[in-house]
Chains A and B, each alone.
Chain A
């Protein structure tokens, strides 16, 4: 545990040392935005639509025949999506998708000596391979979160209309009712921190793989599991810091 943390810090120190050639790093970052970011839009949209719908319906059926006004369902759905779903749930999903992708790509490069080949050219392999991924995710994941928010709230609206659980007017009124803009800031701050965790932790497990394909698979699992745990831990800490 302590050894891992020490090695992680050393790796991060290497990652953040001065890049060799800015232009090449920039090009790599753009490539990673496409690879890690744009390619995740689809899954984020699908999941957000359904979860938005489910949150709305569940809230509605839990409040069956109570005296609470129906528009509060819209408010509940909105706040759940803004506060927790679009940042943390999406973060966990990306930890699975992006984290395993990063750990297995870098792990594969390690066992096929491609990382050694980079080092032999006099290139800081840690920085070259990891920094563009971290920058790309920290820059692009907030957009994913915003997309998820919009689509999630939209999903709730669709569910409301299709099932007739509540009227479109009630839902829309609720979504706008007592809106706290700070919730969005809070979600975006969480997203950026999660992006840092996902990319650096999974890169760490990939970078130090020893052995063969089996170990690469294991590293990829470890990357996902530890990123996820750290995301949940960070969620608690940031929530206490920002909302308390």
Chain B
């Protein structure tokens, strides 16, 4: 469980996170949704400490993250896996070397065991026979999947995914969503996913937090999303014509 309390963050005089408090639950896929530029990435990076917040508190299963020393933060980060919006693969290393990297840095397993683990993770993201390729030789979606494999290779307790399926076709996106959800339940970890994809919300949104211009505007589950009367959320959810048509076809439910 990750608890965020009253965090603020500004760049210059632009407030990007405005008093955000939210609890991300263990064993669930927690989604942060919102329009482009609403502050999802800044929020996620603030939670993991890549961006320093101006004020507020963050607890990882009760452990006060903000007041930790650099060394303690480093230790805690070994329990985290993160998928960056741009994949952030090391481009001087092959796919295999990318995924094996955290293992080599922190474990003393034999090389065979490590390779086995790497192949297992690559298989989970539906990637095979790409071990020797460099990131520059992969498609955008493949890079994302390699990055997911790298994020889960150490069995993290906390998994962060910044737009895991942007740039993927709907079918691959679904595979990735299901994978994230499966891993979350299988290992009972705390997962936070940034997305602006309504398909993902409906697929895996066990807990959904809606951010609007740096404010937490709404929170609930995927089932509540469609019937909320929050106008900002409605604007976001029913942005597309398709969604509007489907909504209008439904008999009105009392809300």
Which residues of chain B come closer than 8 Å to A123, judged between CB atoms?
Answer: 74, 105
Which of B78, B80, B84, B101 contacts A113, CB < 8 Å? B84
Task: Name the B residues within 8 Å of A116 (CB-CB).
Answer: 45, 50, 84, 88
A119 contacts the other chain (CB 8 A): yes
Nearest chain A CB to B47 CB, angstrom units: 11
Tell me if B86 is interfacial: C-beta within 8 Å of chain A: yes
Q: Is B77 interfacial (CB-CB < 8 Å)?
A: yes
A176 to B74, CA, bound (A): 57
**Smallest CB separation, A72 vs chain B (Å):** 51
Which residues of A94-134 are within 8 A (CB) of B? 109, 112-114, 116-117, 119-124
Tell me, rounded to whole Å, the shortest Cβ–Cβ distance linking B33 to chain A.
21
Interface SS majority for chain B: mixed
Least CB separation from B80: chain A residue = A120
- For the complex formed, measure the closest distance between the CB of B111 and the CB atoms of chain A, giving whole angstroms: 13
- Assess the A119–B77 pair: CB atoms within 8 A: yes
Q: In the complex, which of the residues B50, B75, B91, B104 contacts A122, with contact meaning CB atoms closer than 8 Å?
A: B75
| Contact-residue bracket for chain B | 20 to 34
Contact bitstring B69-111, A, C-beta under 8 A = 1, else 0: 0000011111011101110111100000000011011100000
| Interface size in chain A (residues, C-beta < 8 A) | 15
Across the interface, name the chain A residue whose C-beta is closest to B45.
A116
- Chain A, range 1-50, C-beta contacts under 8 Å to B: 20-21, 24
A116 to B81, CA, bound (A): 12
Interchain residue pairs with CB less than 8 A apart (23): A21-B104, A21-B105, A24-B105, A112-B88, A113-B86, A114-B88, A114-B89, A114-B90, A114-B91, A116-B45, A117-B89, A117-B90, A120-B48, A120-B80, A120-B82, A121-B77, A121-B105, A121-B106, A122-B74, A122-B75, A122-B78, A122-B106, A123-B105
CB distance from A110 to the nearest CB of B (A): 11
The answer on a CB contact under 8 Å between B77 and A117 is: no
Complex Cα–Cα for A120 and B101 (A) = 12
Alpha-carbon distance between A119 and B48 when the two chains are bound, in angstroms:
10
Other A-B contacts than A114-B89, A116-B84, A122-B75, 10 sampled, CB-CB below 8 A, are: A112-B86, A112-B91, A113-B84, A114-B88, A121-B77, A121-B101, A121-B102, A122-B77, A122-B78, A123-B74
How far, in angstroms, from A102 to B48 measured CA to CA in the complex? 28
By Cβ-Cβ distance, the 7 closest A-B pairs, closest first, are A113-B88, A122-B78, A122-B77, A117-B88, A120-B82, A122-B74, A113-B84
Check if A120 sits within 8 Å of B105, measured CB to CB: no
What chain A residues lie within 8 Å of B81 (beta carbons)?
Answer: 120
Bound state CA distance, A116 and B74, in angstroms? 12
> Which residues in A have their C-beta under 8 angstroms from that of B104?
21, 24
B206 CB to nearest A CB, Å: 24
Partner of B77, one of A109, A112, A113, A120: A120
A117 in contact with B84 given A122-B78, A124-B74 (CB within 8 Å): yes
Chain B residues near A21: list those with CB within 8 A: 104-106
A36 to chain B minimum Cβ distance, whole angstroms, is 14
For residue B154, give the distance in angstroms from its CB to the closest CB of chain A: 8
CB distance from A12 to the nearest CB of B (A): 15
| Complex CA–CA separation, A171 to B111 (angstroms) | 59
